[in-house]
């Protein structure tokens, strides 16, 4: 005699109705699966995405790390060179005489439409320490470009010299005058200063040593500039303003070149500077 074992019903409520049992089990599993997705899978995906973003930001931050001193000097030199080239291009559009000062090649040149018509060698030059400090700043390009404009001029020689000559009475006297050695218009020592925009002062000095009269003339010339600067400083202080700091460059050149530069420059002349 065989005994039949009854199949065990896991869900006695539904008895032997398998479709109903499956539907009930699925309805129980769906909330569990949803909870697993929202509580486990989605947070893991979000954390992975955040890690990727953090790695990307870390790389970008590493790329934006301030450069070292050598790289900063190279960047400043490139900005100064770019400002110099752009200034030359802008001055080439002008019809008047412009001035080029190249401290790297120790050269000062008079230019017309971008073409050098006279080159003057700088025997020696000195510049204020503030320019060296200013050269390492981010605002160097904005200081060098656009081209500087000459606002004021101070000199020990006249801008337009006049030669007084006695007219010959006849041809014989004219031949005598022609054979005589022509004397220079003036024999003064040449010193002049160009006050430019953005606080730049260019001082040109002759290389020859001056005599007693020349030293007296130079001292008078320098005292006039000192008094003028003091007057402007007091005027600014009375208005409640800070006086503008002057950045100077002093250059030694020959007297002939100094006269040529000073007398060739027109009013409000343009100037390109290469540090």
> Which sign does the torsion angle of CA 233, 237, 239, 242 carry?
positive
**pLDDT of the residue at 71:** 73
Going by pLDDT thresholds of 50, 70 and 90, the confidence category of residue 32 is confident
Distances (CA, A) of 261 to 67, 125, 203: 41, 16, 12
Burial (CB count within 10 angstroms: exposed 0-12, middle 13-18, buried 19+), residue 193 = buried
Going by pLDDT thresholds of 50, 70 and 90, the confidence category of residue 232 is confident
Nearest alpha carbon to residue 204 among 274, 147, 263: 263
Going by pLDDT thresholds of 50, 70 and 90, the confidence category of residue 33 is confident
The structural domains of the chain, with segments of one domain joined by +, span: 19-62, 69-161+184-274
- Report the alpha-carbon distance of residue 102 to residue 272 in Å, rounded: 8
DSSP bridge partners of 115: 112
**pLDDT of the residue at 172:** 78
Residue written as tokens 């605002």?
Answer: 139
**The pTM of the whole model exceeds 0.75:** no
Burial (CB count within 10 angstroms: exposed 0-12, middle 13-18, buried 19+), residue 112 = middle
**pLDDT of the residue at 252:** 92
95, two tokens: 């019809």
**pLDDT of the residue at 213:** 66
Segment 49-77, tens digit of pLDDT: 776 776 676 666 555 556 666 776 777 78
Classify domain 69-161+184-274 by CATH number. Answer: 2.40.440
The alpha carbon torsion through 116, 120, 126, 128 (nearest 10 deg) reads -30
**pLDDT of the residue at 95:** 87
Range ranked top by mean pLDDT from 43-47, 53-57, 64-68, 147-151: 147-151
Going by pLDDT thresholds of 50, 70 and 90, the confidence category of residue 136 is low
Tell me what the mean pLDDT of segment 166-192 comes to. Answer: 72
Q: Where are the alpha helices (DSSP H) in 64-199?
A: 69-91, 129-135, 140-144, 171-179
**pLDDT of the residue at 88:** 93
Burial (CB count within 10 angstroms: exposed 0-12, middle 13-18, buried 19+), residue 156 = buried
CB 129 within 8 A of CB 236: no
Segment 182-226, tens digit of pLDDT: 555 566 778 899 999 988 999 998 886 666 666 777 777 777 777
Tell me what the mean pLDDT of segment 18-33 comes to. Answer: 71
**pLDDT of the residue at 109:** 95
Q: What average pLDDT does the structure give for the chain? A: 78
């Amino acid at each position: 005699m065989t005994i039949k074992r009854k199949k065990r019903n896991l869900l006695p409520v539904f008895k032997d109705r398998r479709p109903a049992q499956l539907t009930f089990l699925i309805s129980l599993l769906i909330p569990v699966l949803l909870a697993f997705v929202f509580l486990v899978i989605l947070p893991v995906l979000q954390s992975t995405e955040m890690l990727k973003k953090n790695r990307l930001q870390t790389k970008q931050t590493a790329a934006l790390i301030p450069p070292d001193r050598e790289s900063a000097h190279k960047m400043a030199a490139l900005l100064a060179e770019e400002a110099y080239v752009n200034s030359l291009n802008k001055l080439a559009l002008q019809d008047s005489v412009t001035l080029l000062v190249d401290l790297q090649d120790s050269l000062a040149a008079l230019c017309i439409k971008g073409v050098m018509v006279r080159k003057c060698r700088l025997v020696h030059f000195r510049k204020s320490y503030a320019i060296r400090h200013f050269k390492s700043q981010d605002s160097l390009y904005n200081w060098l470009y656009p081209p500087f404009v000459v606002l004021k001029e101070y000199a020990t020689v006249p801008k337009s010299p006049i030669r007084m000559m006695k007219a010959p009475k006849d041809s014989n006297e004219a031949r005598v005058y022609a054979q005589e050695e022509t004397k220079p218009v003036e024999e003064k020592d040449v010193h002049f200063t160009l006050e430019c925009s953005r606080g730049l002062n260019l001082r040109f000095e002759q290389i020859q040593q001056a005599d007693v009269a020349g030293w007296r003339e130079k001292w008078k010339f320098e005292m006039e500039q000192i008094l003028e600067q003091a007057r402007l400083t007091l005027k600014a202080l009375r208005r409640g303003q800070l006086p503008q700091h002057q950045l100077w460059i002093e250059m030694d050149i020959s007297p002939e070149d100094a006269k040529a530069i000073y007398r060739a420059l027109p009013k409000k002349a343009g100037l390109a500077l290469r540090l």
